[in-house]
């Protein structure tokens, strides 16, 4: 059985390695050209296609534009190193507290691709806000995956937090609407909604 997991892991590792090399090759090729409006647009497109998000892609592009102005004779390796440094700065910068609005409840929709850890992230966020003294309610909006509803229910029980859910295949929007309605009635501070 261990060999099955090891071979599966190796396949995933190989696929990710191939993706990383393609991404790296595109950046290396791009930074071999003069940095101008055209190459900056291409950089933004490459980053956008790599699913870093539009805000992050724009931020990286602006950083490279500033770096190119400051270091006009930079080499390809220096541009790549600047990309790595900027990524580290983003990843290790302290998180700013989320803005507090007067509207209650504060609703957090957790979105992402299947298998990315959305349901577990909901539980982690719930624990985080609970430790800050906030009243939290979970909404099992991933009604397409029965295991997600069960998993979130287990986390809600462990954390002693209310949960709003429906049967598998139910309307996810209705679940989230019911969760917000319930949170308003109970004076809940934060609704964390799992999604499909």
Query: Can you list the domains of the chain with their CATH numbers?
Result: 2-92 (1.20.120.140), 106-194 (3.40.50.300)
Query: Residues 103-124: what's their mean pLDDT?
Result: 86
Query: Residues 149-174: what's their mean pLDDT?
Result: 91
124-144 pLDDT per residue, tens: 999 999 999 999 999 999 888
Residue 62 has a pLDDT of 95
Residue 79 has a pLDDT of 93
Query: Residues 53-81: what's their mean pLDDT?
Result: 92
Q: Which value, to the nearest 10 degrees, does the dihedral of the CA atoms of residues 112, 114, 115, 120 take?
A: 50
Residue 50 has a pLDDT of 78
Query: Residues 89-110: what's their mean pLDDT?
Result: 76
1-30 pLDDT per residue, tens: 445 455 555 655 555 565 567 788 889 999
Task: DSSP for 7-38, please give it.
Answer: HHHHHHHHHHHHHHHHHHHHHHHHHTS--SHH
């Amino acid at each position: 059985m261990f060999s099955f997991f090891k071979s599966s892991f190796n396949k995933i590792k190989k696929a990710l390695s191939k993706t990383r090399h393609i991404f790296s090759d595109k950046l290396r090729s791009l930074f071999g050209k003069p940095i101008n409006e055209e190459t900056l647009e291409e950089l933004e497109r490459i980053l956008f296609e790599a699913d870093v998000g539009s805000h992050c892609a724009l931020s990286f592009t602006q950083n490279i534009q500033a770096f190119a102005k400051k270091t006009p004779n930079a080499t390809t390796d220096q541009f790549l190193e600047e990309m790595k440094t900027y990524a580290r700065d983003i990843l290790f910068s302290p998180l700013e507290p989320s803005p507090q609005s007067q509207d209650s409840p504060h609703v957090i929709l957790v979105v992402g691709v299947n298998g990315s850890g959305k349901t577990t992230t909901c539980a982690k966020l719930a624990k985080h806000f609970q430790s800050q003294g906030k009243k939290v309610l979970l909404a099992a909006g991933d009604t397409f995956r029965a295991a997600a509803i069960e998993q979130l229910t287990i986390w809600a029980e462990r954390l002693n937090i209310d949960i709003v859910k429906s049967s598998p295949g139910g309307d996810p929007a209705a679940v989230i609407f019911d969760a917000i309605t319930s949170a308003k009635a109970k004076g809940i501070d934060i609704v964390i909604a799992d999604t499909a």
